[in-house]
Amino acid sequence: MAYNRTRRTYHRRKICKFCADSTLKIDYKDPKTLRMFTTERGKIIPRRISGNCAKHQRMLTLAIKRARIMALLPFTTSVVR
Amino acid sequence: MRFYETLYLLSPELSHDDYKAVLEKFNGIIEKNGGVVIRVDEWGKKDLAYRVRKFDKGFYVLLQFCGPPGITALLERDLRLDDRVMKYQTIKLKDKADPEQLKKEFGTQEEVESEEQKDETPEGASEIAEESVEEAEHGVQ
User: Which structural domains are found in chain B, ordered by start?
Assistant: 2-101+116-129 (3.30.70.60)
Residue A5 falls inside a structural domain:
no
Return the number of CB contacts < 8 Å for A and B.
Answer: 36
Within a domain: A78? no
Q: Is A59 within a domain?
A: yes
Q: Which residues of chain A have a CB within 8 Å of the CB of B4?
A: none
Domain count, chain A: 1
Q: Does A30 touch chain B (CB under 8 A)?
A: yes
Reported as a pLDDT band with limits 50, 70 and 90, residue B135 is very low
Within a domain: A40: yes
Q: Is A16 on the interface with B (CB under 8 A)?
A: no
Instruction: Tell me the C-alpha distance between B31 and B64, whole Å.
Output: 12
Query: What is the structure's pLDDT at B57?
Result: 92
Q: State the best of B50, B51, B55, B86 to mutate against chain A, taking most chain A CBs within 10 Å.
A: B50
Q: What amino acid occupies position B18?
A: D
List per-block mean pLDDT (blocks of 10 residues) for chain A, which spans 81 residues. Answer: 61 80 88 92 92 93 95 81 49
A31 or B108, which is more confident? A31
Distance, in Å, from the CA atom of A77 to the CA atom of B51, rounded to the nearest integer, reads 11
- Average pLDDT, integer, range B96-112: 67
Quick check: is A6 in a domain? no
The answer to whether the beta carbons of residues A27 and A33 sit under 8 Å apart is yes
Report how far residue A37's alpha carbon sits from residue B107's, in angstroms, rounded to the nearest whole number.
33
In chain B, the residue whose alpha carbon lies closest to the alpha carbon of A70 is B87
Spatial CB neighbours of B45, under 8 Å, sequence gap ≥ 6: B12, B57, B58, B59, B121, B122, B125, B126, B129
Q: Is residue A11 part of a domain?
A: no
Domain that holds residue A58: 17-69
Assigned domain for A81 exists:
no
| Binary contact (B50, A72; C-beta < 8 A) | no
Any idea what the CATH number is for the domain that residue A51 is in? Answer: 4.10.640.10
ipTM: 0.72
